[in-house]
């Protein structure tokens, strides 16, 4: 599900700002953008975030800058640039390089224009991590709101499918007798010689039974009920709901293939369309 979270905190003379965004995705994919000086902590941050999220394409951006320079995201790291120029001078002297150092050469060093974070200790990093997780919590709150809306939509579709199944059952009860009589009349038209009535009745009953969709309707309604139960009561139900959708689709296909009337075929097409819409939505549920 989609979501957005933002948090900020002042930590030992620095402003820490965190933005978290999520897009729909079947699996969990984390993209974390950190200042150069904090990249060695990425694994620890990644593992902490994983405990809050199970699915989605997540983008987290962390900005840390001195309060004195908080009006810009570009910094002049004099200490780092002096170190870079010192190395350039050594290399030029040792290998007799005549070329002058230009500004574009400095652009290859990201930390030359990143704030120095030497005032941040391990304890301060714990505060930064809390700021990140606070942003993720806000993201989860927004996702929960979307989840409530999604649940309501799915339940409405389940009710719609249930009504369509009941319509199919009623149509089948009305059609099966007429179908049997139609078969019987057709046999008498084709066969000119006397036939064993009892044998004919048995064969026609077997033909009619092959078109019986009662069991399929019962199973489909059972799947619908199970889907609703899982949706309302279980956490991290996405994968299970997806499997139930597959079973519902299978029963709807069988109903269509055994159908004896166009009305039932049309209803089964509608049901399969609704199941497909549900299945697409289920991909967004953790």
**Token pair of 181, please?**
């009589």
Q: Tell whether the model's pLDDT for residue 86 goes beyond 70.
A: yes
Q: In which band, very low, low, confident or very high, does the pLDDT at 133 lie, cut at 50, 70 and 90?
A: very high
CB 65 within 8 A of CB 18: no
**What pTM value is reported for the model?**
0.68
Task: Sort strands 14-23 and 56-66 into parallel, antiparallel or unpaired.
Answer: antiparallel
Which of 24-33, 51-60, 177-186 has the weakest average pLDDT? 177-186
Q: In which band, very low, low, confident or very high, does the pLDDT at 72 lie, cut at 50, 70 and 90?
A: low
CB 217 within 8 A of CB 245: no
Q: Tell whether the model's pLDDT for residue 83 goes beyond 90.
A: no
CB 221 within 8 A of CB 248: no
Query: Cα separations (Å) of 27 from 32, 44, 51?
Result: 16, 20, 14
pLDDT of residue 138: 97
**CA atoms of 229 and 151, how far apart (whole Å):** 12
Task: Give phi and psi for 17, each to the nearest 5.
Answer: -125, 135
State which of 143-147, 175-179, 236-240, 252-256 shows the largest mean pLDDT.
Answer: 252-256
pLDDT of residue 216: 94
- Architecture of the domain defined by 147-282: Up-down Bundle (1.20)
Domain ranges of the chain: 3-145, 147-282
Averaged pLDDT score across all residues of the chain: 85
| 4-25 tens-digit pLDDT | 999 999 988 788 999 999 998 8
| 197-245 tens-digit pLDDT | 666 666 666 666 777 889 999 999 999 999 999 999 877 788 899 999 9
Greater confidence, 212 or 251? 251
**CA atoms of 182 and 20, how far apart (whole Å):** 65
Q: E strands, the chain, where?
A: 3-11, 14-23, 28-33, 56-66
Instruction: Quote the DSSP letter at residue 1.
Output: -
Q: In which band, very low, low, confident or very high, does the pLDDT at 257 lie, cut at 50, 70 and 90?
A: confident
* Helix, strand, coil percent content, the chain, rounded in steps of 5: 65, 15, 20
pLDDT of residue 26: 79
Task: Sort strands 28-33 and 14-23 into parallel, antiparallel or unpaired.
Answer: unpaired
pLDDT of residue 226: 96
Which of 146-150, 203-207, 244-248 has the weakest average pLDDT? 203-207
Q: In which band, very low, low, confident or very high, does the pLDDT at 45 lie, cut at 50, 70 and 90?
A: very high
| Of residues 276, 254, 10, the one with CA closest to residue 157 | 276
């Amino acid at each position: 599900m989609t979501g957005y979270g933002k948090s900020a905190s002042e930590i030992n003379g620095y402003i820490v700002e965190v933005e978290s965004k999520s897009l729909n995705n079947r699996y969990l994919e984390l993209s974390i953008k950190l200042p150069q000086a904090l990249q060695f902590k990425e694994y620890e941050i990644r593992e902490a975030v994983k405990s809050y999220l199970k699915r989605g394409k997540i983008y987290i951006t962390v900005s840390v800058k001195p309060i004195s320079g908080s009006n810009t995201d570009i910094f002049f790291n004099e200490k780092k640039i002096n170190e870079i120029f010192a190395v350039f001078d050594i290399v030029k002297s040792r290998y007799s390089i005549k070329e002058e150092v230009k500004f574009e050469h400095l652009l290859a060093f990201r930390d030359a224009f990143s704030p120095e974070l030497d005032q941040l200790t391990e304890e301060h990093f714990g505060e930064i991590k809390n700021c990140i997780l606070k942003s993720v919590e806000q993201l989860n709150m927004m996702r929960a709101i979307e989840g409530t809306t999604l649940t309501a939509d799915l339940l409405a579709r389940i009710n719609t499918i249930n009504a369509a199944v009941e319509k199919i059952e009623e149509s089948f009860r009305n059609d099966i007798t007429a179908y049997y009589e139609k078969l019987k009349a057709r046999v008498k038209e084709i066969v000119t010689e006397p036939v064993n009535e009892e044998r004919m009745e048995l064969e026609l009953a077997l033909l009619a039974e092959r078109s019986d969709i009662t069991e399929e309707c019962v199973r489909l309604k059972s799947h619908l009920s199970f889907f609703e139960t899982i949706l309302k009561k279980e956490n991290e139900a996405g994968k299970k709901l997806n499997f139930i959708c597959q079973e519902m689709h299978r029963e709807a296909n069988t109903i269509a293939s055994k159908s004896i009337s166009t009305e039932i075929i049309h209803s089964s097409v509608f049901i399969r369309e609704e199941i497909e819409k549900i299945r697409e939505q289920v991909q967004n549920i953790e």
